[in-house]
Amino acid sequence: MLDMRFIRENPDRVKEAIKNRNLKLNIDEFLDMDKERRNLLVEVDKLKNTRNIESDEIAALKKQGKDASVKLSQMKLVSQKIKEIDSKVEAICNKIQNIAMLIPNIPHSSTPIGSDAKSNKVIKEWGKLPNFKFNPLNHIELGEKLNIMSFPASAKLSGSGFCLFTGDGAMMVRALLNFMIDLHTKKHGYREVWPPVLVNRRSMTTTGQLPKFEEDMYKLKDDDLFLIPTAEVPLTNIHSHDILDEEDLPIYYTAYTPCFRREAGSYGKDTKGLSRVHQFDKVEMVKFVKPEDSYDELESLLANAEKVLQILKLPYRVQLLSTGDISFAASKCYDIELWAVGSAVWLEVSSCSNFEDFQARRGNIKFKNKNTGKLSYVHTLNGSGVAFARLIIAIIENYQTKAGFVEIPRVLQPYMGGKKIIKPVSK
């Protein structure tokens, strides 16, 4: 969330950010409520001070054996007024808090201004797009032919929007998990975490999923717990309400988890196969850093995610997201998209974001300056390192052969028992 003082002192910047993000919030009404709250607090403080003075005088009158009934009557009226104002302040504070949770982060100055994804800027391309001398199959066709995934079976188990991996398909999921975790822990300096996949409302609020996106989340009926949409949620909340030491920063965490999204807003989008599913696997990277380092840390975070794809030898591009496409909590975000030759589409497999102190304010995550002893909010970052479902699409489609087999990327072969190619097997 944004600092209240920042909103008061920079209302035009906040309004501009809301406009550029295609959102509608009345900041003037919000500031009017804040002004009313502050005025009421001044009024009630005066009344409480008066009550304290009068209480001392009443005590003195009683001690002298004098009649204090008039003052007692007056103080009852004052106390009633204080109670009324306190109640009014509480109601206004609740309204302010509810609105504050809907105010998005301020986009970084380098974030392109635009209404939607069409304003995103491609800033990098890596690798050569495959050019087959045969008509490539898509991952659904290949998955069925090779018997490595089954959408009919998963539909029978769970309904649409899920996938059942079998045989070499299941082994590839496990291989990707181990490859990415090994890379990020051994080469990139992240500490591995195995977090819960059910988190409470407070944790979802810290990272910005709630209250704005609650309809996209899976919530338990009898407990106020949510299935995580990404490991960003539990990893970021490891340090909620903590005061970190400056010398401990930066802190890097990585985790593999299944992720769950209802995709309530996906009507009209491509939902075939693995491109948009309710459950998918992902390796996530989260950073806690000093504010002055956060944009350099964003670039290294992006490089960490890119390295996964470079080792897998998959062609990709990096986009800098516009104000109309960036996430609610992010100040700046890069998307990495893989080319899938059989589907002939670019598929997002990673988003790398700097949230500055937006999440840290929500989660009350601070660090102590070793020289001054003062407390400041950390900056948090997160990036997919990377998401499996669309990555598997790209691997299967880009590594397919004319015979309809799939070659296994060299880096994954040791994780798959030395296997080099996926061929059809009987069901």
**Average confidence (pLDDT) per 10 residues, the chain, 427 residues:** 96 97 96 97 95 90 88 91 96 96 97 96 97 95 96 95 96 98 98 98 96 93 96 98 97 98 65 90 98 98 98 98 97 97 95 98 96 94 97 97 97 98 83
Both tokens of 120, joined, read: 């995103």
The segment(s) of the chain belonging to CATH 1.10.287.40 are 4-100
* Integer angstrom CA distances of residue 294 from 297, 378, 386, 426: 5, 9, 20, 51
Domain covering 117-422, topology: BirA Bifunctional Protein; domain 2 (3.30.930)
The segment(s) of the chain belonging to CATH 3.30.930.10 are 117-422
We find that the CATH architecture of domain 4-100 is Orthogonal Bundle (1.10)
378, 288 Cβ separation under 8 angstroms = yes
Angstrom distance (rounded) from CA 209 to CA 229: 9
pLDDT at residue number 163: 96
pLDDT reported for residue 371: 85
Q: What is the pLDDT of residue 247?
A: 95
Residues 6+ away with beta carbon under 8 Å from 220: 198, 226
The model carries a pTM of 0.93
Q: In the structure encoding, which two tokens stand for residue 194, read together? A: 């195995």
d(CA 41, CA 418): 71
